[in-house]
Amino acid sequence: MRIYKQKNILERNINYSNAYGRNLLQEAIVSCENTIAVDLVNKDIDINHQDKKEMTPLDFAKQIKDMEMINILANKNLISKYQSKK
């Protein structure tokens, strides 16, 4: 999570993606850094971002069976869909 710690990158482009197309949220989930992942979700990072293999943050959370992150991402998705219908 070296990138996350480089505050200037986070402030300029929260949806930065690496050579694999993963954004910071995907990297946090894969690294089991839930505190960082929640912080990124609260900063409105793109939770539906797809990497080069078309995997989203939710796909990564499901792959590693992280129920906490699955619930956080699913709830955020529901809230976003509800707000967009208003």
Highest mean pLDDT pick, 36-40, 42-46, 57-61, 78-82: 57-61
Tell me, what's the pLDDT at 19?
94
**At residue 59, what is the residue type?**
D
pLDDT of residue 76: 84
* Domains, in order of start, for the chain: 2-85 (1.25.40.20)
Query: Residues 30-51: pLDDT tens digits?
Result: 999 999 999 999 888 999 999 9
